[in-house]
Amino acid sequence: MPPRRRSASGYCSVHQCPNGGFYAEIRSGDLRLSLGTYDTAHEAARAFDAAAWRLGRPRLQMNFPDVHTLQQALDLVPPPRLNSAQDRAEHTALQRRPLVAQEDERVMAEWRRRHSEDVAYEQEYWKQCREEDTRRRREERLDRRRRKALACAQADLVNAGGRSFFTEEDERSFDISVNL
């Protein structure tokens, strides 16, 4: 008899859900019976073993052959995770989001194709905004450098015994005192 195939979870008839949970199923003739969704693969494998005991399967076909009675198998099985109406609604909303985003991208591409002059205007507007921001930051940087150079020159003058020509209220006086 060939060895049993195991799923990626490492247990027979236990599969991982896309949401991170695990579900167990068992086949009985042509029927496939769902045993529920569980938090771990181990719990799902225990549920499979309890169902296998109920169906009268040999212990060699079970995930845990060390369980010797049906009652032991049932005691080890946790209750399945319940999927409430809220869980289903959240799942449906998550499934709808990619469709909405895809439709939004399609509509925006169509709008860009039909209104290319508006797109060009918008691109020019943002280009001007970036250029103004760059110019403003450059001017602020130059102003700080000038103020610092002036403050350093004044500090050298004060350190050499001279008097500063800035008044106490002038903010450049503060720059000089910080650099001292």
As a whole-number percent, the residues of the chain with pLDDT over 70 amount to 78
135/145 Cα distance (integer angstroms): 15
Query: Is 95 contained in some domain?
Result: yes
Distances (CA, A) of 41 to 14, 24, 46, 78, 144: 7, 9, 9, 12, 63
* 140 and 95 fall within a common domain: yes
Q: What is the 3-state secondary structure (H, E, C) of the chain?
A: CCCCCCCCCCCCCEEECCCCCEEEEEEECCEEEEEEEECCHHHHHHHHHHHHHHCCCCHHHCCCCCCCCHHHHHHHCCCCECCCHHHHHHHHHHHHHHHHHHHHHHHHHHHHHHCHHHHHHHHHHHHHHHHHHHHHHHHHHHHHHHHHHHHHHHHHHHHCCCCCCCCCCCHHHHHHHHHC
pLDDT at 2 over 60: no
pLDDT single digits (tens) 99-128: 788 888 899 999 999 999 998 999 999 999
Owning domain of residue 93: 86-145
Of 47 and 154, the structure prediction assigns the larger pLDDT to 47
The answer to whether residue 110 is domain-embedded is: yes
The answer to whether position 162 is within a domain reads: no
Least confident stretch, 65-79, 111-125, 153-167 = 153-167
Q: Is 138 within the bounds of a domain? A: yes
- Give a yes or no: residue 175 inside a domain: no
Taking the whole predicted model, whether its pTM rises above 0.75 is answered as: no
CATH of the domain at 31: 3.30.730.10
Asked if the structure places residue 102 within a domain, the reply is yes
In a domain, 51, yes or no: yes
pLDDT level of residue 160 (50, 70, 90 thresholds): low
- Asked if residue 127 belongs to a domain, the reply is yes
Shared domain check, 90 and 38: no
Q: What is the number of structural domains in the chain?
A: 2
Using the predicted structure, report yes or no on whether residue 167 has a pLDDT greater than 90. Answer: no
Supply the pLDDT for residue 133.
95
The pLDDT value given to residue 166:
60
